[in-house]
Amino acid sequence: MASGVSFSVSATDGRARTGALVTPRGAIRTPAFMPVGTAATVKAMLPENVRETGADILLGNTYHLMLRPGAERVARLGGLHRFMNWDGPILTDSGGFQVMSLADLRKLTEEGVTFRSHVDGSKHMLSPESSMEIQRLLGSDIVMCFDECPALPAPRERVADSMRLSMRWAARSRDAFGDRPGHALFGIQQGGLEQDLRAESAEALTAIGFDGYAIGGLAVGEGQDAMFGVLDHAPQMLPADRPRYLMGVGKPDDIVGAVRRGVDMFDCVLPSRSGRTGQALTRRGAVNIKNARHADDPRPLDPDCPCPCCRSYSRAYLHHVFKAGEIISSMLMTWHNLHYYQELMQGLRDAIAEERLDAFAQGFERRRAGGDLDPL
């Protein structure tokens, strides 16, 4: 591990682990969920409120920040933590995934990717070296290797070529990152749904040596069964003494299933994005606040949830402010959703520590299967 960064597992239950990834900016309790702060903000939330939900770490997006406001500008203004008023750890992605999904006129070569900004059409280049430099300027605590991944389903040959390119880029990322005490660099396993390619990728990454290992290229349209099929093997291919991060996942049941298969870290836009589109995620499953059944309902979203939204506001109010397009709708619903995710992670950590994860997962499934509160 980089000096100043450590990872320890304090308890296991089956393949699931609980522990902490410690950085100079604070400890990240694992299994951890990282809210997504794409453009230097978790949309509709103040950073101190995100902290109150129980989040230890945020994710920032290199692609968005390099285009606007620009990494050099963020560096001049004291780095991303100061800029966005979040003093805890920040993980930044490499830009690789988003340049493939958002940018215009992409050209992929061995060197990297040239593209035009989706914001203003300006021309840019991302490579392992430039991605490491941008993440350094941002001041990220956990830096991700620059990689490339195909949307699934894809032909095996395409998945294999892409994985091998990502492994060459991983070696270049490692060299470009250099030695930065207090900052961690994570490698990213690729290989799609192919177990032998996943194994080849894990071997290549382990030979290079990283502070943590991500499982990439999942949650890109393959479905939960196929994803769990990969996770039945992929985490065990990665070093047990390093954190394992499943990128871009996921729904609450994806997270529970992945934790049971040995994953330590997650990020997803789902709780914050759903909060802005009127979908609440609760222990009884998803609740669509737009539905007319809530218009006269004085009960909270979840009577057992201690978040500020559920403590003080009715479903009728949430329905009204959503319908009226009021900003507080996004604020309250996002707060609840992020609170629910962090409470789920705390529940998983406690269950692993007490070796009762199976019972926890059964209770989780039972409550979801029971569905939302009956209409009044």
Residue list, annotated binding site for Zn(2+): 305, 307, 310, 336
CB of 338 to Zn ion, least distance (A): 10
Is residue 198 near Zn ion by the rule CB under 5 A? no
- Interaction with Zn ion in 210-239: which residues (CB under 5 A)? none
Catalytic residue among 13, 56, 93, 372: 93
In 3D, which of 139, 154, 137 has the Cα closest to residue 100? Answer: 154
CA distance 208 to 227: 26
Determine if 45 is a binding residue for Zn ion (CB under 5 A).
Answer: no
Catalytic site residue 93? yes
Residue type, 69: P
Binding residues for substrate: 93-97, 147, 190, 217
Supply the minimum distance, in Å, between the C-beta of residue 302 and Zn ion.
Answer: 5
**Does the footprint of Zn ion cover residue 336 (CB under 5 A)?**
yes
User: Among the candidate windows 24-32, 34-42, 91-99, 300-308, which touches Zn ion by CB under 5 A?
Assistant: 300-308
Number of residues engaging Zn ion in binding (CB under 5 A): 5
Q: Is 315 in the site for Zn ion (CB under 5 A)?
A: no
Angle of helix 357-370 versus helix 252-260 axis, rounded to 10:
160
Among the listed residues 58, 15, 16, 21, the one whose alpha carbon sits nearest the alpha carbon of residue 242: 21
Spatial distance between the Cα atoms of 364 and 85, rounded to a whole number of angstroms: 35
Interacting residue with Zn ion among 307, 318, 344, 352 (CB under 5 A): 307
Question: What letter would DSSP give residue 374?
Answer: P
> Is the torsion defined by CA of 224, 353, 209, 173 positive or negative?
positive
The residue among 131 and 282 lying less far from Zn ion, judged by its C-beta, is 282
Residue among 170, 188, 192 nearest 243 (CA): 188
Interatomic CA distance for residues 373 and 299, integer angstroms: 10
DSSP 119-164: TT--EEEE-HHHHHHHHHHHT-SEEEPP---PPSS--HHHHHHHHH
What is the nearest approach in angstroms of Zn ion to the Cβ of residue 166?
A: 39
Q: Judged by CB under 5 A, which stretch of 79-87, 229-237, 331-339, 368-376 contacts Zn ion?
A: 331-339
Among 5, 268, 310, 318, binds Zn ion (CB under 5 A): 310
Of the candidate spans 32-40, 130-138, 330-338, 368-376, the one that interacts with Zn ion by CB under 5 A turns out to be: 330-338
Q: 315: which 2 tokens?
A: 């479903």
In the complex with Zn ion, which residue's Cβ is closer, 1 or 46?
Answer: 46
Let me know: does 232 contact 199? Beta carbons within 8 Å.
Answer: no
**Catalytic residue from among 56, 264, 267, 297:** 267
Stretch that binds Zn ion, among 54-62, 87-95, 99-107, 336-344 (CB under 5 A): 336-344
- Catalytic, 253? Answer no
The only residue of 103, 185, 305, 361 in contact with Zn ion, by rule CB under 5 A: 305
Closest CA to 276 of 60, 45, 33: 45
**Contact residues: Zn ion, CB under 5 A:** 305, 307, 309-310, 336
Catalytic (active-site) positions: 93, 267
